[in-house]
Amino acid sequence: MKRSFLFLPFVLMLSTIVRADIEIAKSQCADLGFTPGTEKYADCVMKLLPKEDSKKKKSSTDKAISKKDKKVVEKVANSLKFNEATYVGEIKKGKAHGVGVFTFSDGSIYEGNVYKNRIKGQGKYIDSQGNVHEGKFKNGTLRIKVDKKTREIIKLRPKTGVEMYAEIRGKGVVSNQWFRAEKNSSGTYELTAKGKRDMEKAIQDKNSGGDSGGGGGGGCG
């Protein structure tokens, strides 16, 4: 798989074409009155993305790379469109598979390993504010340890988009479970209203002999 990362520069070059198309569509949707960040805005952006012009892209690519590298680019220079993202990279049996780049409708980007249309393995995510997050994604999810009791979660789904939030480890009988949290005005993490409800329910279930499974579940990953 390390060898596959040698293809990434070519994929990134091709993805800039896709990103330019997305920026134009985003600007047009804003001019039409759609509010950025809303579902209707995202739908508008995806609908306005231009159809592929393979001959034009091939011509641009041919000028940018040497003849020696053309076969390599042809192998990986494929694109797919999902509800909330556009993919450029390696494709196997009609699915994003290998190494590639996902550009999401909010402008954020994932670069790295993909497996059957899912983000899986080592990769880098650049959010819409330009912050970089690197690590090993498990089924589209990256868990970033803040401390022993807190972690940040990044979920990337080409069909449903991007979700980012925090989790706090439960206490006592639910210390192996995680619950939804957020940063407060002082910059520290605290449970959200839902996180508190979920933890209270989990404690009640444990004390009564049941098992709710917890709000965030799982280990620290």
Reported as a pLDDT band with limits 50, 70 and 90, residue 27 is confident
Summarize the confidence of residues 31-59 as an average pLDDT: 59
pLDDT, mean of residues 193-207: 93
Is 31 a residue whose pLDDT tops 70?
no
Cβ-based neighbours of 7, under 8 Å, separated by 6 or more: 72, 75, 76, 89, 90, 98, 99
pLDDT score of 56 more than 50: no
90-120 as b/e, with b when 16 or more CB fall inside 10 Å?
bbeeeebbbbbbbbbbbbbbbbbbbbebbbb
Distance CA 111, CA 11 (A): 9
Residue range 162-183: mean pLDDT, rounded: 94
User: Is 175 within 8 Å of 168 (Cβ atoms)?
Assistant: no
Which amino acid makes up residue 167?
E
The pLDDT of residue 76 is 45
Q: Where along the chain do its domains lie?
A: 3-132, 145-207
CA atoms within a 13 Å half-sphere pointing along the CA-CB vector of 189: 19
Mean pLDDT of 36-40: 65
CA 111/CA 90 separation, integer angstroms: 12
User: Region 116-138: what's the mean pLDDT?
Assistant: 94
pTM exceeds 0.75? no
pLDDT the model gives residue 208: 85
Does residue 127 register a pLDDT over 50? yes
| Over residues 193-212, mean pLDDT | 86
Question: Running DSSP on this structure, what letter comes out for residue 34?
Answer: P
Whole-angstrom distance, CA of residue 69 vs CA of residue 101: 19
Q: List, as one string, the DSSP characters of 203-220.
A: HHHHHTT-----SS-S--
Q: Do 168 and 152 form a contact (C-beta atoms < 8 A)?
A: no
Q: For residue 179, report the phi and psi dihedrals to the nearest 5 degrees.
A: -135, 150
Amino acid at 12: L
Closest CA relative to residue 146, chosen from 168, 178, 124: 168
Cα distances (Å, whole numbers) of residue 41 to 10, 30, 38, 52: 30, 8, 5, 21
Q: Which two tokens stand for residue 28?
A: 């047009």
Q: What does the CA dihedral 161, 190, 133, 37 come to, rounded to 10 degrees?
A: 30
What integer best gives the mean pLDDT of the chain? 78
Q: What percent of the chain has pLDDT over 70?
A: 62
